[in-house]
Amino acid sequence: MGESNFGALRTAPNRPVAPDFTAQVFTRIGLDRYVTAASAIGEVFVAWRSGGVSALRIAGDAMTFESWYGERFGRRVVPAREEDPISAAARAKLGGDEVEVPIDLGECSPFERRVLEKAAEITRCNARPYGWVARELGVPDATRAVGNALGRNPVPLLIPCHRVIRTDFTVGGYVFGSETKRTLLEAEGLDFAAIERVTRGGFRYVGDDDDGTFCLPTCGTVATRVGSPGFVALRSVDEAHAHGLRPCSTCRPIAA
DNA sequence: TGGGTGACGACGC
DNA sequence: AGCGTCGCCACCC
């Protein structure tokens, strides 16, 4: 069908066809493209279109990636011939720069979008429970749905869904496997051995007598110091209040 | 329309 | 402590 349209155009009278006609049409239509880029978990494929990065997967067989992409998004993706501002931004971010990367969430449902946008707020060296995301979104019973939405994150790493973990502070699932998730979080500065030492026995919060706040043990403000002197392990919010502690405004350990 | 599925969580042994 | 069960919600047929 598309072929015959091209044929009709090609034979239009008095109108020479530019050699790169096909490329021009694809550019105008916005054909999706991809490159490989280095990341914390090795080489990845990064695909994008006019609106921003549309997909990220671990690099491997190009055919497999292209057919996965077509299956998932219903569009064709081809290797890029040159860098683009969007791929350049993604490359920089994957390399560790704190830059904004436009993301195309076009195929996501409104709920999935909200979940991914919330996950995008979680900064390095931090982790939050699935239930925390649900609560922040105003649907505290939708924790399971939050997990499903994160599981469909089209752009892992760029939207750091690996920073959402289980309420018991075990890492939980991940597209690239739980081990990879744990490795990523450790590389960002979370010390799971220390976290496990604290949470063993049902401790859920960490109080800091110095600044008078209590946090999730995976809050970046305490993550590198969990278990050191000056911190008290707490089993409940009541215990925190008994110590005269107020909730940390960064990790917001309880509902506002 | 309705039943099945899943990166969860609380509870009971 | 670890496992099964069951409720929950959004999504997909």
How many helices, marked H, and strands, marked E, lie in chain A? 10, 10
The order of strands in the sheet holding A42-49 is A52-58, A42-49, A32-39, A77-79
Amino acid A100: pLDDT: 97
User: Nearest residue (Cα to C1') for B8?
Assistant: A144
A210 CA, B10 C1': Å apart: 33
Amino acid A29: pLDDT: 60
Rounded to 5 degrees, φ, ψ at A43 are -65, 135
Residues 100-129 of A with CB under 7 A from strand B: 129
The CATH class that applies to domain A2-94 reads: alpha beta
* CB of A36 lies under 7 Å from some atom of strand B: no
A201 CA, B13 C1': Å apart: 18
Q: Which nucleotides of C are covered by protein (CB under 7 A)?
A: 1, 7-12
* CB of A183 lies under 7 Å from some atom of strand B: no
Determine how β-strand A246-247 pairs with β-strand A213-215. Answer: parallel
* A24-42 pLDDT per residue, tens: 444 446 699 999 999 999 9
* CB of A169 lies under 7 Å from some atom of strand B: no
Domain A110-187 bears CATH identifier 1.10.10.10: yes
CA distance A2 to A256: 55
* CB of A197 lies under 7 Å from some atom of strand B: no
CA distance A71 to A193: 40
DSSP bridge pairs for A52: A49
Tokens standing for residue A138: 């105003």
Spans of all domains in chain A: 2-94, 110-187, 192-247
Angle A147-A149-A150 (CA atoms, 0-180°, nearest 5)? 65
Determine how β-strand A205-208 pairs with β-strand A231-234. Answer: antiparallel
Amino acid A201: pLDDT: 77
Secondary element (H or E) of residue A23: helix A21-29
Distance of CA A147 to the CA centre of its chain: 12
All residue ranges of chain A with pLDDT < 70 are: 1-30, 224
Burial of A240 (0-12, 13-18, 19+ CB in 10 A): buried
A3 CA, C7 C1': Å apart: 53
